[in-house]
Amino acid sequence: MGRILAIDYGRKRSGLAVTDPLQIIANPLDTIPTHTLADWLNAYFSKEKVDLVVIGYPKQTNGEDSESMLYIRPFINLFKKRFPDIRLIEYDERFTSVLAHKAMIDGGMKQKQRRDKAVVDKIAACIILEDYMQSLH
């Protein structure tokens, strides 16, 4: 069994989270510059078995695609061409950044740490992954 990897895709940087090999626990993994994401994934997939990638699919509160899809859609197309053997699922990510900030506050993180957008991005990816995993049960 391989891991599930989640991506909170952003214009400048993308947050990543991953499960353990048994797909039981989701953990924040990293935040990387988005322009290096495809190469980073290529290196990661060569080291780790990944069964599925879940990418945050931002929607507006009315359920329509957000403007962010204008730059996420090309990445999704690139991913499908570059990694045809890895399943990609688009998962609603509404409010994950808000939930990430709340989790950081609840976890006792200092205000300075909460301002670090890289931390927010990988926690948001972890929330996307946890929500996806809960939706399976």
Per-residue pLDDT tens digits of the chain, which is 137 residues long: 899 999 999 999 999 999 999 999 999 999 999 999 999 999 999 999 999 999 998 776 676 766 777 889 999 999 999 999 999 999 987 655 555 556 656 666 666 665 666 677 888 899 899 989 988 87
125 vs 120: CA distance, rounded Å: 9
- For residue 62, the model assigns a pLDDT of 72
91 vs 81: CA distance, rounded Å: 19
Quote the number of domains for the chain: 1
Task: Please report, for the domain that includes residue 82, its CATH number.
Answer: 3.30.420.140
Structural domain containing residue 94: 3-135
- For residue 115, the model assigns a pLDDT of 61
- For residue 89, the model assigns a pLDDT of 95
Strand order in the sheet with 3-8: 26-33, 13-19, 3-8, 50-57, 87-92
3-state secondary structure of 24: coil
- For residue 58, the model assigns a pLDDT of 79
pTM assigned to the model: 0.84
CA atoms within 13 A on the CB side of 40: 15
